[in-house]
Amino acid sequence: MTQREAQTYWNQWHAFQQRNEKRFAKEFYKALQIQVRAFARTQDVMQIPTFPIYTVLNKLYTVVAPKWARISRDQSLKADDLFVTGRLGFNERIVELMRQYYGVNLLNDAELMTQYSREVIARVLSQAAETGASFDDVVAELLRHPEFSAMRARRIARTETVTAANAGAMVYAQNSGNVMEKVWIAVKDKRTRHSHRDIDGTRLDIDTAFNMPRSQQNAKYGDISMQQPGARQQPNGLPVPAVEVVNCRCTVAFQAKRDSRGNIIRR
């Protein structure tokens, strides 16, 4: 893959990712506001529901992962594949494989995000107890609180679209029936974290994980390996530290290996 091809692939990725980030940020924002309203009604932090976030998360994975898997396939494979869908269609098969490979547990993820919402509300409540603010004041503050705002919604949408899309493309490539290589592609601007700028352009066999370079931000976690950008779990089963995932805008491209005659090598 030439520098120019990598750039073209990343540009296409960036447009796709931004479009979906915007779309789903709106939906996550609505979900967060539903949580605040549920609290306003019940006055009980434990009654804040998980399902509004879960519903959006589930939709995001079902839509974004197969869509990007298709684009990635058209962009990077440019050849036949033996991807087996069986009785399932392409989209369903991608989602099913993600469950198998990554043990994607969206309900658990939504529960963690909801737990965080509860913590934020508990903090605002304890501040109100000190200042003597009324319950109505608390609700008004929560409705415009950064953690229930478009800002958090955007952060969630960004992280989740990157995770879902790259995982979708990855499971497709792993099951394409071809011997594949993968290349990590980072955006080269000032906001890119150092470990991702350093790994940019690294090419590996598809099943080999990327060893993340040490940086100031990740030094305390020891060795970290990731199968693709946005991965939440390391091959050894440990979680990937959030510092490698949150606000990451990297992607991964794939290429089928060819023999000396230029024919694709089947797995």
Take residue 185 and report the two structure tokens written for it: 């592609």
Take residue 70 and report the two structure tokens written for it: 């298709």
Q: Which residues bind Zn ion (CB under 5 A)?
A: 196, 248, 250
In the bound state with Zn ion, the residue whose beta carbon lies nearer, of 158 and 196, is: 196
How far is it between the farthest Cα atoms of the chain?
78
| Residues near 168 by beta carbon (within 8 Å), at least 6 away in sequence | 64, 65, 66, 67, 68, 69, 94, 95, 98
In the bound state with Zn ion, the residue whose beta carbon lies nearer, of 52 and 168, is: 168
Shortest separation between residue 45's beta carbon and Zn ion, angstroms: 34
Shortest separation between residue 230's beta carbon and Zn ion, angstroms: 8
Amino acid letter, residue 150: A
In the bound state with Zn ion, the residue whose beta carbon lies nearer, of 123 and 188, is: 188
Strands 203-205, 210-211: pairing kind:
unpaired
**Cα–Cα distance, 183 to 194 (Å, whole number):** 17
Match 């979900």 to its residue by tokens. Answer: 31
Shortest separation between residue 33's beta carbon and Zn ion, angstroms: 29
Shortest separation between residue 229's beta carbon and Zn ion, angstroms: 5
Contact yes or no for 209/201 (Cβ under 8 A)? no
In the bound state with Zn ion, the residue whose beta carbon lies nearer, of 17 and 176, is: 17
Shortest separation between residue 248's beta carbon and Zn ion, angstroms: 3
In the bound state with Zn ion, the residue whose beta carbon lies nearer, of 48 and 248, is: 248
Take residue 127 and report the two structure tokens written for it: 């501040």
The sign one gets for the Cα dihedral 119, 161, 66, 264 is: negative
Beta bridge partners of 233: 239
Q: Quick one: how many helices (H) and strands (E) in the chain? A: 7, 5
In the bound state with Zn ion, the residue whose beta carbon lies nearer, of 5 and 200, is: 200
Shortest separation between residue 44's beta carbon and Zn ion, angstroms: 39
Report CA-CA distances (Å) from 230 to 14, 35, 87, 202: 14, 26, 29, 16
- The H or E element containing residue 256 is strand 251-256
In the bound state with Zn ion, the residue whose beta carbon lies nearer, of 106 and 250, is: 250
Shortest separation between residue 221's beta carbon and Zn ion, angstroms: 16
